[in-house]
Amino acid sequence: MDAAAWDEHYSTTELVWGAPPNATVVEQVFGLERRVPVGGYGAGEGRPELPRVLDLGCGEGRNALWLATHGWQVDAVDFSQTGIDKGRTVAARLSRSVRGRIRWVHGNVTDLDRAGITGPYELILVAFLHLPPEDRRILLLRAAGMLSPEGTLLVIGNDTLNLVEGYGGEQDPALTFTPADIIADLAAAEPAIRVQIADRVHRPTEDRDAIDALVVATRPAVEDPDAPRALEVPQPPALDMF
Task: Determine phi and psi for 148, rounding to 5 degrees.
Answer: -75, 165
Banded model confidence at residue 228, pLDDT cuts 50, 70, 90: very low
**pLDDT, tens only, 165-188:** 999 999 999 999 999 999 999 999
- Identify how many contiguous H helices and E strands the chain contains and give both numbers: 9, 7
Residues with Cβ within 8 Å of 39's Cβ and at least 6 positions away in sequence, in order, are 70, 71
Q: What count of residues does the chain have?
A: 242
**pLDDT, tens only, 81-127:** 998 998 998 899 899 999 999 999 999 999 999 999 998 999 999 99
Q: What is the mean pLDDT of residues 128-134?
A: 97
**How far from chain centre, in Å, is Cα 51?**
16
What is the pLDDT, as a whole number, of residue 225? 54
What is the pLDDT, as a whole number, of residue 18? 47
Q: How many CB atoms lie within 10 A of CB 157?
A: 26
What is the pLDDT, as a whole number, of residue 19? 64
What is the pLDDT, as a whole number, of residue 15? 54
pLDDT at residue 16 greater than cutoff 50: no
193 vs 221: CA distance, rounded Å:
10
pTM: 0.83
**pLDDT, tens only, 29-81:** 988 865 665 644 333 444 456 799 999 999 999 999 999 999 999 999 998 99
Average pLDDT, the chain: 84
Q: How many CB atoms lie within 10 A of CB 118?
A: 11
